[in-house]
A and B are shown apart, each in its own frame.
Chain A
Amino acid sequence: AQTVTQSQPEMSVQEAETVTLSCTYDTSESDYYLFWYKQPPSRQMILVIRQEAYKQQNATENRFSVNFQKAAKSFSLKISDSQLGDAAMYFCAAGAGSYQLTFGKGTKLSVIP
């Protein structure tokens, strides 16, 4: 079983600036994946980025990148050049085994024009 903790209920960032969302996790599995999902007001969860635990290189997807610190069990999301459309709830999730994702409670990101 996994646990996922997001310690920042809310964050805000100025448009075009950079923001980092924090996530820590715990798992007894040696092979696992970590995910960041975005949930806009439409409620539809959208996969932002995923990291395979066995890969040391941090994943990047355009303006989104992660800082994966395996020993510290930390998986933060960095959003560069923030845009108004980035405003949403962001959920960190962990998956191991075949099917189950465990989600954190989320961070609400506001983008200030």
Chain B
Amino acid sequence: GAGVSQSPSNKVTEKGKDVELRCDPISGHTALYWYRQRLGQGLEFLIYFQGNSAPDKSGLPSDRFSAERTGESVSTLTIQRTQQEDSAVYLCASSWDLAVLSYEQYFGPGTRLTVT
């Protein structure tokens, strides 16, 4: 079956422009997560969705970042007025349900964002 997919695979944008990153989770997975991975670093948790609800947005780095999810399917992460420090790989993961202790998170291949 299909895994988690993300698009675009790579995105180069100019400083100040807005970008939209897309994540298609595995069908039936109710939980969806976004992470950021800067060069040479581990993954930094950004936000999670249970269905289309995101109860905790405190992991988003600034108010330039926002995310939404349509039902239990596609999610988009939007970065407004991009800055060079936003350059990173953005990874999406999904799982059957929220409980990290019980359900494995399946990751997508990520979107590499480069802000010039």
Interfacial chain A residues near B48, Cβ < 8 Å: 99-100
B101 & A101 in contact (Cβ 8 Å cutoff): no
Contact present for B110 and A43 (CB under 8 Å): yes
Report the contact-size class of chain B (Cβ under 8 Å from the partner). 20 to 34
Nearest residue, chain A, Cβ from B100: A95
Q: Is the CB of A99 within 8 A of B110?
A: no
Q: Which A residue's beta carbon lies closest to that of B40?
A: A105
Partner of B91, one of A4, A32, A45, A105: A45
State the Cβ distance, B114 to closest chain A Cβ, in Å: 14
| A102 and B109 alpha carbons, distance in the complex (Å) | 19
How many CB-defined contacts (below 8 Å) exist between A and B?
Answer: 63
B108 touches A44 (CB 8 A): yes
Min CB gap B16→A, angstroms: 26
Q: How far is the CB of B10 from chain A (nearest CB, A)?
A: 11
A45 touches B107 (CB 8 A): yes
Per the bound structure, the CA–CA distance linking A57 and B3 in Å amounts to 31
Q: Does A64 contact B (CB under 8 A)?
A: no
**Is A42 positioned at the interface, with any CB of B under 8 Å from its CB?**
yes
Does B104 have its Cβ within 8 Å of any Cβ on chain A?
yes
- For A95, list chain B residues within 8 Å (CB): 100-101
Q: How far is the CB of B58 from chain A (nearest CB, A)?
A: 11
Selected from A6, A44, A46, A99, the residue in CB contact (under 8 A) with B99 is A99
Q: Are A97 and B91 in contact (CB under 8 A)?
A: no
Chain A residues whose CB sits within 8 angstroms of the CB of B109 once the complex forms: 42-44
B40 touches A99 (CB 8 A): no
Contacts of B33 in A (CB 8 A): 99
What does the 1/0 interface line of B72-116 toward A look like (CB < 8 Å)? 000000000000000001010100001111001101111010000
Interface status of A47 (Cβ within 8 A of chain B): yes
CB pair A99 B42 closer than 8 Å: no
The 10 A-B residue pairs whose C-beta atoms are closest, nearest first, are A103-B42, A45-B107, A95-B100, A103-B43, A43-B110, A105-B42, A44-B109, A99-B48, A99-B98, A43-B109
Instruction: Enumerate chain B interface residues (CB-CB to A < 8 A).
Output: 3, 31, 33, 40-45, 48, 59, 89, 91, 93, 98-101, 104-105, 107-110, 112
